[in-house]
């Protein structure tokens, strides 16, 4: 009998032959131009004039299918804290190519993994505000905007051990959420004020995966029209609206935590909604007071606060073959898979990885050909594959 709940899996990888210079923390080195150049040379699949790099995940979440796109500004913006970390910071021309690449890759995954009973498909980004210290807990290993495209075999997930529900990496929209614990209703009300035509709000079991029960308690939307809607630029504009609403909520809350009665944040996307829904809501303001008081009296707690918004936003396929959008604050961990109740332990095991590698690379190279055909970049040669 299948038990339901979050899963914990082990994914083998081939150890990366990189030496972190003495005195540097790993994530400081990973954000250096030197390391990003190595990423391109060893794992790069495709790049284009917009500096978007498609690459194989050397430390992957899944050896079934796993790749990322990164907006590789490491050569043009040397300050890691000044690099774009979310789609709202992209130049329009870059965003247009970014959206087309996402649409093609998601379509490719759905085409090659058509059965929702057999495979879990997800695509999305886990990003944070560039004002955070580089060494803070949860800061990504590469501090630039990047998207994840992952497929899990549901048979593997079914037979995996149940994860500890108290694992701090599990983002469940409630237990580990500063917001949903106090303000679930106002959070949902605020995001419901968004003017969306393609994205249809859904709740409860309609958005969650039966096997894991995740995501939990998060605002979610069905993509009406399915994969065909991803070819519509209006969908990507709505996808950005969800992110903008999320950012406004977080900035408004932490502005209240930082400075009582602080008002509408500068450069808010939805200032009228903030004023009407958030700044006159007693639960919202009471929660800010609770956090403010705790910050004043608990130095360790105050130091752990993420004063700028960190988020995970993704598109995934549910059990009923519907494409769903959801968004959440980041948890202590950073793996986007945790939003769907999958905790990934990466284990160094070159032999096991190399058994899965040929099939993985074959799919990634096929995907690369499709992107090249759509004029979205040119191939990169590495020691594992040719340019063409």
Q: Does position 182 have pLDDT exceeding 90, yes or no?
A: no
- Global pTM value: 0.92
Find out whether 103 and 152 touch, Cβ atoms under 8 Å. no
Mean per-residue pLDDT for 115-132? 83
Find out whether 76 and 51 touch, Cβ atoms under 8 Å. yes
| Distances, alpha carbon 338 to alpha carbons 56, 68, 313, 334, in Å | 20, 17, 12, 8
Mean per-residue pLDDT for 109-138? 81
Q: Does position 174 have pLDDT exceeding 50, yes or no?
A: no
Report the SS3 class of residue 71: strand
| Distances, alpha carbon 92 to alpha carbons 66, 79, 82, 95, 175, in Å | 27, 22, 18, 5, 37
pLDDT digits (tens, 9 = 90+) for 280-338: 999 899 999 988 999 999 988 887 777 777 788 999 999 999 999 999 876 545 578 98
272 — pLDDT class (breaks 50, 70, 90): very high
Q: Does position 192 have pLDDT exceeding 60, yes or no?
A: yes
Find out whether 281 and 186 touch, Cβ atoms under 8 Å. yes
Name the residue with tokens 């950073």: 334
pLDDT, position 129: 62
pLDDT, position 166: 79
Q: Is the peptide bond before 131 cis (omega within 30 degrees of 0)?
A: no
Least confident of 78-82, 107-111, 120-124, 320-324: 78-82
Mean per-residue pLDDT for 158-163? 95
183 — pLDDT class (breaks 50, 70, 90): confident
Least confident of 19-23, 305-309, 367-371: 305-309
pLDDT digits (tens, 9 = 90+) for 291-306: 899 999 998 888 777 7
pLDDT, position 175: 40
**Long-range pairs for 253-261 at CB < 8 Å and ≥24 separation?**
253/179, 253/183, 253/278, 253/284, 253/287, 253/288, 254/305, 254/307, 254/308, 254/309, 256/284, 256/285, 256/288, 256/292, 257/288, 257/291, 257/292, 257/295, 257/305, 258/292, 258/307, 260/288, 260/289, 260/292
**Rounded Cα gap, residues 139 and 129, in angstroms:** 10
**Rounded Cα gap, residues 83 and 144, in angstroms:** 6
Average pLDDT of every residue of the chain: 88
Report the SS3 class of residue 46: strand
Instruction: Name beta bridge partners: 52.
Output: 71
Find out whether 354 and 15 touch, Cβ atoms under 8 Å. no
pLDDT, position 136: 59
343 — pLDDT class (breaks 50, 70, 90): very high
Instruction: Look at strands 323-329 and 342-348 and give their pairing.
Output: unpaired
Select from 156, 126, 148 the least CA-distant residue to 138.
126
pLDDT digits (tens, 9 = 90+) for 142-156: 678 889 999 999 999
| Distances, alpha carbon 144 to alpha carbons 99, 105, 140, in Å | 17, 20, 9
Most confident region among 104-118, 140-154, 244-258, 335-349 by mean pLDDT: 104-118
Mean per-residue pLDDT for 198-226? 90
pLDDT, position 29: 78
Find out whether 109 and 149 touch, Cβ atoms under 8 Å. yes
Mean per-residue pLDDT for 57-84? 89
Q: Does position 100 have pLDDT exceeding 90, yes or no?
A: yes
Which run of H or of E encompasses 151? strand 146-153
| Distances, alpha carbon 202 to alpha carbons 180, 196, 211, 274, 314, in Å | 17, 13, 19, 23, 15
**Rounded Cα gap, residues 336 and 162, in angstroms:** 18
134 — pLDDT class (breaks 50, 70, 90): low
Q: Any residues with CB less than 8 A from the CB of 314 and at least 6 apart, and which?
A: 122, 123, 124, 125, 148, 325, 326, 327, 336, 339, 340
CA 263, 269, 271, 274 dihedral sign is: negative
pLDDT, position 139: 56
pLDDT, position 46: 97
pLDDT, position 176: 47
pLDDT, position 376: 98
Select from 248, 254, 244 the least CA-distant residue to 276.
248
| Distances, alpha carbon 289 to alpha carbons 168, 235, 272, 295, 318, in Å | 24, 37, 22, 10, 37
pLDDT, position 128: 63
pLDDT, position 132: 57
pLDDT, position 140: 55
**What are the structural domain ranges in the chain?**
7-379
Which run of H or of E encompasses 20? none
Instruction: Name beta bridge partners: 347.
Output: 12
- Cα-based torsion angle of the residue sequence 285, 269, 129, 86 in order, rounded to the nearest 10 degrees: 140
């Amino acid at each position: 009998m299948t038990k339901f709940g979050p899963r914990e899996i082990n994914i083998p990888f081939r150890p990366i032959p990189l030496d972190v210079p003495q005195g540097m923390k790993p994530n400081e080195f990973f954000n250096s131009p030197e390391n990003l150049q190595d990423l391109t040379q060893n794992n790069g699949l495709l790049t284009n004039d917009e500096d978007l790099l498609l690459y194989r995940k050397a430390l992957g979440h899944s050896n079934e299918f796993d790749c990322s796109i990164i907006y590789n500004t490491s050569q043009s913006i040397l300050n890691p804290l000044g690099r774009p970390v979310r789609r709202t910071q992209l130049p329009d021309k870059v965003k247009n190519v970014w959206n087309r690449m996402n649409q093609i890759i998601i379509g490719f995954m759905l085409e090659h993994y058509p059965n929702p009973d057999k495979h879990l498909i997800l695509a999305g980004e886990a990003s944070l505000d560039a004002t955070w210290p580089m060494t803070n807990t949860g800061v990504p290993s590469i501090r630039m905007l990047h998207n994840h495209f992952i497929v899990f075999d549901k048979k593997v997930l079914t037979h995996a051990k149940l994860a500890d529900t108290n694992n701090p990496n599990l983002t469940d929209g409630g237990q580990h959420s500063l917001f949903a614990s106090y303000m679930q209703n106002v959070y949902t009300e605020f995001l419901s004020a968004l003017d969306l035509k393609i994205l249809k709000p859904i709740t409860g079991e309609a958005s969650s995966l039966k096997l894991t029960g995740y995501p939990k308690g998060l605002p979610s939307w069905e993509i009406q029209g399915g994969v065909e809607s991803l070819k519509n630029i209006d969908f990507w504009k709505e996808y950005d609206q969800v992110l903008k609403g999320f950012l406004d909520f977080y900035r408004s809350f932490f502005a209240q935590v930082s400075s009582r009665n602080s008002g509408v944040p500068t450069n808010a996307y939805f200032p009228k909604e903030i004023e009407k829904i958030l700044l006159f809501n007693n639960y919202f303001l009471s929660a800010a007071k609770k956090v403010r008081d705790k910050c004043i009296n608990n130095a360790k707690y105050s130091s752990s606060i993420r004063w700028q918004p960190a988020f995970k936003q993704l598109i995934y396929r549910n059990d009923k073959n519907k494409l769903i959008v959801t968004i959440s604050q980041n948890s202590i961990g950073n793996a986007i898979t945790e939003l769907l109740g999958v905790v990934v332990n990466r284990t160094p095991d070159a032999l096991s990885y190399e058994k899965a590698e040929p099939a993985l690379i074959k799919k990634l190279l096929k995907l690369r050909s499709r992107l090249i055909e759509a004029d979205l970049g040119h191939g990169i040669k590495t020691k594992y594959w040719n340019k063409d």
